[in-house]
Amino acid sequence: MANLLARRRNDPFMPLMGDWMDDLWLRSMPLARAADMPAVERALMDVVDKGDHFEVKVDMPGVKKEDIEVAVEGARVAIRAETRTTKEAKEGERVLHTERSVAMYARTFELPAEVTEANAEARYEDGVLTLSLPKRAPLASRKLVIN
């Protein structure tokens, strides 16, 4: 838990208040209830400014690419994914106990500049989602003619 909290506090995209609230929620949740709830993981990520675009890498192990949703609006990026695992009994087995798990990954962050969806790319391989988000060209100012 200490490593998770240390990583979150070094994250420039996590507002201070959110950190405090997350820590409070994690410490106050009874363990019995936590085991019954789906785990919402804060997917670890890297954001690199490549000049004309941003490259975002997000760790999402065990997720199928069709279960990943990415939404871009201006400078805000929202990433969400859900994975489910079940263990099925083989023929002839008598099941005494079985468990299913659901893990959800979610990240919403704001980039320092607006991006455009045109020419944006998304790849998912080996549990890592890589986004290439081109920066929006700045609008050229124009001189108004006064009548």
Using the structure block, give the residue that is written with the tokens 């405090």. Answer: 20
pLDDT confidence tier of residue 53, bands split at 50, 70 and 90: very high
Average pLDDT of the chain is 76
Give the number of C-alpha atoms closer than 13 A to the C-alpha of residue 50, restricted to the C-beta side: 14
Q: From 94, 137, 96, select the one nearest 115 (Cα to Cα).
A: 137
Higher-confidence residue of 69 and 88: namely: 69
Produce one character per residue of 59-69: b if its CB has 16 or more CB atoms within 10 Å, e if not. ebeebeeebbe
Query: Which residues does 117 contact at the CB level (< 8 Å), separation at least 6?
Result: 72
What pLDDT does 46 receive? Answer: 94
8-22, 70-84, 116-130: least confident range: 8-22
pLDDT of amino acid 31: 47
Tokens of 39: 């785990």
CB 133 within 8 A of CB 54: yes
User: Which domains can be identified in the chain, with CATH numbers?
Assistant: 1-37 (no CATH), 40-134 (2.60.40.790)
Tokens 């893990």 identify what position?
Answer: 103
Asked if 22 contacts 8 with a C-beta cutoff of 8 angstroms, the reply is yes
Spatial CA neighbour of 81 closest among 115, 33, 39 = 39
Top-confidence residue, 133 or 1: 133
User: Exposed (0-12), middle (13-18) or buried (19+): which is 118, by Cβ within 10 Å?
Assistant: exposed
Distance of CA 20 to the CA centre of its chain: 19
Whole-number pLDDT of residue 106: 86
Span 99-114, pLDDT tens digits: 777 778 888 999 999 9
Strand partners, 109: 77
Q: Quote the pTM value.
A: 0.61
Q: Give per-residue pLDDT as tens, 20-43.
A: 555 555 555 544 444 444 556 677
